[in-house]
Amino acid sequence: MVFSSVYGPPFVREGNLRRDSTMADFRRFSMLTQAFPEIDTAGGVICEPNDLPLETRHLDMILAKQTLTDKFYFGDVISGPNALDTLKMTEILFGGREAIEKTPATIASINCNSPLRWDDRMLDAQFEYNRANQAVVLTPFLLMGAMSPVTVPAALVQQLAEALSDIALTQLVRPGCPVVLGSFLSNIDMQTGAPCFGTPESVIGIFATGQLARHFGLPFRTGGGLTSSQTPDAQAGYESLMTMLPTFLAGTNLVMQAAGWLESGLVSSYEKFIIDIELIRVLLEAFTPLEIDEASLAFDTHLEVGPGGNFLGAAHTMQHFRDCFYHPLLSSSMNFERWTRQGALDASARATAIYGKTLEEYKEPPLDDAVRQELEDFVNRRRAELAD
């Protein structure tokens, strides 16, 4: 499984403050994606840098992902020219067009304008990535009741028709271009029209998508840490678990929106990012195959302790106590008195402290000075051209 952080929100939340996101936020989220090994990719538009010009902000975002992280990243898909800028910068970083065509270095998320329409601007971007042999995630975006019928089987049929149509188109542009079958399937609140996440319908959709993708022999993207909640509260936690657990059970290959998603995708939340990292860590541990051997059966320990004893001081316990169980990043198991003395912090408050400390300790990955300079020169040149 490959995990990517939140993608696309125009707002951020820090504690109780909800505001427009900025380039400074984008850089900080990029640093967090670099710091946590549970996140495998630098992602795409982790949050929208609203303080930068629309025409050129994609340059700054790509440069941030290339310099603040050493993880692969999602390319810009707003237009064909923006995709070309991504590819040119990727060529600089990875040693030319031939190198990235041989070994794909970036990936692009292309959404269907459901029902049954592929947007011309996104297709322009997609074709640039196809011609360069870069991976594309082709995703129908279905909220049942709005962009598809209200029944899960009908939504699945529509999703499959949309995805396979663009997979076929991709292979017409460049046979063999790597593709990922995408799925974003949930429903709306039929009283208000608001999108809903962590619903039973979305769980069934995730399971069924996994079966369909395996039937066609395709890698697939679905699920994530999705919630409709406005704050990183209990609702955010249980709705995210209701989408992340079936994401694991379905055998998902690429998990976008895995960390930081809040308010139906309108908000990138620092605290929710940490909560989701904890959730991923727990599930990765739980889904690690159980090893059963002589050492783990520990028969000699039973002989040592005997009936009615306890295992706290047993030799086997003393040998393994440091690493025998999962160590939480966020969760607290303190008794009430100690928890109170240490500030009575809830999960959200503890998450604030963790992301703050992580940013303070962040270390930028190494990058050749000549490559960095070439990237910056390209960005400055293109910024001037686009401004003109």
pLDDT by residue (tens digit) across 157-189? 999 999 999 999 999 999 999 999 999 999 999
Alpha-carbon distances, residue 91 vs 55, 57, 94, 188, 378 (angstroms): 21, 19, 5, 41, 11
Q: Model confidence over 281-327: pLDDT tens digits?
A: 999 999 999 999 999 999 999 999 999 999 999 999 999 999 999 99
pLDDT tens for 12-46 read 999 999 999 999 999 999 999 999 999 999 999 99
CB 70 within 8 A of CB 365: yes
**What span, in angstroms and rounded, lies between the C-alpha atoms of 134 and 126?**
9
322 to 73, 278, 334: CA distances (angstroms): 36, 19, 18
Mean pLDDT of 96-110: 97
Mean pLDDT over the full length of the chain: 97
Superfamily classification of domain 2-288+367-385: Trimethylamine methyltransferase-like (3.20.20.480)
Q: How far apart are CA 7 and CA 267, in angstroms?
A: 10
* Arithmetic mean of pLDDT, 56-81: 98
What pLDDT, on the 0 to 100 scale, is given for residue 387?
83
- List all residues 6 or more positions away from 114 whose beta carbon is below 8 Å from its beta carbon: 140, 141, 142, 147, 148, 158, 162
Q: State residue 388's pLDDT score.
A: 64
AA identity, residue 49: P
Q: Where are the chain's structural domains?
A: 2-288+367-385
Cα–Cα distance measured from residue 178 to residue 167, given in angstroms and rounded to the nearest whole number: 9
State residue 81's pLDDT score. 97
The proportion of the chain whose per-residue pLDDT surpasses 70, expressed as a percent, equals 100
116-168 pLDDT, tens digit each: 999 999 999 999 999 999 999 999 999 999 999 999 999 999 999 999 999 99
Does residue 160 contact residue 205 with C-beta atoms inside 8 Å? no
Question: Under DSSP, is residue 213 helix (H, G, I), strand (E, B) or coil?
Answer: helix
* pLDDT value, residue 289: 95
Q: What is the mean pLDDT of residues 61-75?
A: 98
Helices (H), 42-150: 57-68, 80-94, 97-102, 120-131
Take residue 248 and report the two structure tokens written for it: 């694991």
- Please list, residue by residue across 269-287, b when 16 or more beta carbons sit within 10 angstroms of its beta carbon and e when fewer do: bbbbbbbbbbbbbbbeeee
Q: What is the pLDDT of residue 169?
A: 98
Mean pLDDT of 365-374: 98
Instruction: Specify the pLDDT at position 272.
Output: 98
